[in-house]
Structure 1
């Protein structure tokens, strides 16, 4: 028997009061027993909402009319806001953003891990909330996202047949094949916008083809721009099906227009995905890397290196991590998910030894290089899957850690890794997370032997719903001695 289709006009909910923010960053209101998630709504708004998707107990909606604006609402500063998915909270004041980020961490830890959060420390806001990123990746596409101004109505309905369809910018949310052409992005400082706009203008002038994300053809595919606090600059152009003459043309124009580029690189990627970790990187001009600095330490950053994208706030995050650990000088530290060894090298001067483990082999090579470059001799690094590396034999060989620092990806830690932490019984665990929900899931398991001593959220990504959180765990039997 076929399902009955929902016919008629979309459901409308007039005068809906938005009372909170949901986990995914949408406004939350209630219409009777129905929970309604409203895109781009701010707590305190009263809206006429149009439901676009309805389930038994909840609905998703958009604002049809803003009846009353919240005192927390502010005017977005980016012309691309609303279409670009990068800065979804530009319409809400920064103090309010911090409030709701802290509230989301509090809710996740209480609901999922049953943790007492009454002693949670105030969220640390970012000193910069524009131009704070050190890395952006843009996509070329021959299918530009069209807004209302691009679509004619009446007798000439539809897009102008002569409309420029090439774009260089960001993916539109939920549309993998549509790219929003970006004029000015507020996430990365100069000369990021000038470089992107120069590459686009050159490609259009020379008739170079932009990548077709469905048919996998075209000359130009991606553009990666990395900046550093040292003033160095890396530009990586990713080509797909371009000849060497076309490649040299693009790269030569960039070199001439931006002599300040420290590392000018290119990649030819003809795979059906955008990842570059398995691709050869060719140095066109300058070095194959740039340098970042933090607390007197230098870090080598290559095109495939992981480094926190908010450099200044990363320093604050690592200072909190170090403070929570409370090192006295003689500790053996395990740094899990060490990446390029940034935290490991950051704390190495304060402890006896740091053992770092990371899945990506190239990141481990960066970690070793960074230790050697800074004259740090008390770090060792291992590459491999965390659950396979962190075994009983590994702990026997290297010693039981006094402190474990763990900074896993958004998915959190594998259950086998959590089980190993419970077996190791380090006196302290400092858990750094970019996802409070998966962190809470892991903390619920660790509660068997650990108590939560300190909690502090850190905002790394202003104008988004994302938030980092640092938790200090202490072994319960140590607490009772």
Structure 2
């Protein structure tokens, strides 16, 4: 086989990133945009010693799990990897992915894992409450915006992503009109010139409140009052700002934010709890599924009203305030100062007093409060970033010995690694449940309940 040679392959499996996997004469091929059960014609693009990557040229025999993507740019855009799968097949793929990682990385046996049915969506579209749109120019010099193609910074023009809210299209149209009216050019990464880099748009699904922030390569936004005037025509517009980012960087937001209109935040609800969400706050992008995710975590925590619970990596207090409805006391820990400020404000807004928040690294705060101040835990809830937990944090959990650990993760690989560490320290998995927070993509959230059994690995 040589590069650019075409061949026929049956797709027998899927890798973690949602690419189809097939074999030809024992050689492994990864083919993007294929589905397990497809027979396809593909072209060899890149070859290693034992495996290669190929481009889908034609589907010869479609899998029963194949679906026609609704998005016209699904194949070019890097945002959705699974639109060629039916939604039912997507859910099965995500459950398999999590289970395989628990078996392979976590070294758990199948009978140690009770997998509850994945929580899917009735309507897996228009679920994202936040989006960030880069601006650029097409070959004709016209202003465009959309999303980056996979593994590139080439903009695929798309102002109405079907995962995002319908208001995105209207808002982006207004920003482009404002730029044309005032001769403002989009930013060029290559030349480090041009003013407008990105637009960040956020919506509170329950409140209907909208936030818009323009990220600029400069210190001021000309005619900013005119931009506010135009954006205020959009129903629900609550906060308008710009962020200054003059660095040569892939980081979107700048370090300084200037409010043009409104309080600098929006509000939304998860269940009965109201949250204040500032521009840089971490807030789950799928609010409908977030409520189901947190209710699952609350169920796994098995709180009766007498327990002390810790919420590590608590963000703006979303899980902490959920736990506080049933716990005696909740302690939340988060590294980002602004997030803790929002968390305290959210507790105040909801009249929740049995919660206290700490700024700092989870592993350091937990250890200090346990060893120096004698704070204990009946239940610890973890929701770390994709890299998982620090070993010091896991060691402190083992020292504290809570009755239950509830681990929420968006990366089942690092989750499996951390669960093995806890299992070797005396914990066992009781229940596992996936929640599909990101339909159309290979990402999936997982909630795990572990209980202390004292069976430590020697």
Task: Give the TM-score band, short-chain normalised.
Answer: over 0.9
Q: 2:380 aligns with which of 385, 404, 424?
A: 404
Corresponding residue for residue 317 of structure 1: 293
The CA distance in 1 between the partners of 2:149 and 2:245, in whole Å, is 22
Q: How far 1:277 sits from its partner (Å)?
A: 6.2
Corresponding residue for residue 281 of structure 1: 257
The CA distance in 2 between the partners of 1:394 and 1:33, in whole Å, is 55
Corresponding residue for residue 441 of structure 2: 464
- The verdict on how the C-alpha distance between 1:274 and 1:251 changes in structure 2, with shifts beyond 3 A counting, is farther
Contact preservation (8 Å) 1:120, 1:455? yes
In structure 2, runs of 5+ residues without a counterpart are: none
The CA distance in 1 between the partners of 2:403 and 2:270, in whole Å, is 28
Corresponding residue for residue 123 of structure 1: 118
Corresponding residue for residue 384 of structure 1: 360
Q: How do 1:57-456 and structure 2 match up within 5 A?
A: 57-118=50-111, 119-142=114-137, 144=138, 163-176=140-153, 178-228=154-204, 229-241=206-218, 243-255=220-232, 257-258=233-234, 260-273=236-249, 275=251, 279-448=255-424, 449-456=426-433
- The verdict on how the C-alpha distance between 1:278 and 1:356 changes in structure 2, with shifts beyond 3 A counting, is farther
1:10 aligns with 2:4: yes
The CA distance in 2 between the partners of 1:200 and 1:182, in whole Å, is 13
1:348-402 C-alpha deviation (Å, 9 max, x unpaired)? 0201111111111111111111111111111111111223222255454152201
Contact preservation (8 Å) 1:220, 1:242? no
The CA distance in 1 between the partners of 2:455 and 2:20, in whole Å, is 43
RMSD in angstroms over aligned alpha carbons?
2.0
Which shows bigger deviation, 235-244 or 367-376? 235-244
The CA distance in 2 between the partners of 1:352 and 1:242, in whole Å, is 48
- The verdict on how the C-alpha distance between 1:417 and 1:11 changes in structure 2, with shifts beyond 3 A counting, is farther
The CA distance in 2 between the partners of 1:31 and 1:276, in whole Å, is 42
The CA distance in 1 between the partners of 2:63 and 2:312, in whole Å, is 43
Q: How far 1:132 sits from its partner (Å)?
A: 0.2
The CA distance in 2 between the partners of 1:69 and 1:344, in whole Å, is 46
1:31 aligns with 2:31: no
- The verdict on how the C-alpha distance between 1:225 and 1:404 changes in structure 2, with shifts beyond 3 A counting, is same
Contact preservation (8 Å) 1:292, 1:300? yes
The CA distance in 2 between the partners of 1:338 and 1:452, in whole Å, is 22
Which SS does the other structure have where 1:344 is aligned?
helix
The CA distance in 2 between the partners of 1:393 and 1:268, in whole Å, is 38
Which shows bigger deviation, 241-250 or 337-346? 241-250
The CA distance in 2 between the partners of 1:9 and 1:349, in whole Å, is 60
In structure 1, runs of 5+ residues without a counterpart are: 1-5, 145-158
Aligned residues: 452
- The verdict on how the C-alpha distance between 1:377 and 1:393 changes in structure 2, with shifts beyond 3 A counting, is closer
1:138-181 C-alpha deviation (Å, 9 max, x unpaired)? 11123x4xxxxxxxxxxxxxx6xxx23532111222213x2122
Which SS does the other structure have where 1:169 is aligned?
strand
- The verdict on how the C-alpha distance between 1:124 and 1:259 changes in structure 2, with shifts beyond 3 A counting, is closer
Contact preservation (8 Å) 1:139, 1:221? yes
The CA distance in 2 between the partners of 1:478 and 1:392, in whole Å, is 26
The CA distance in 1 between the partners of 2:371 and 2:123, in whole Å, is 41
Which SS does the other structure have where 1:335 is aligned?
strand
TM-score, length of structure 1 as denominator length: 0.89
Which SS does the other structure have where 1:122 is aligned?
strand
Which SS does the other structure have where 1:24 is aligned?
coil
The CA distance in 1 between the partners of 2:374 and 2:175, in whole Å, is 50
The CA distance in 2 between the partners of 1:406 and 1:128, in whole Å, is 29
1:295-347 C-alpha deviation (Å, 9 max, x unpaired)? 21110011111110000100000000000111111111110110111000011
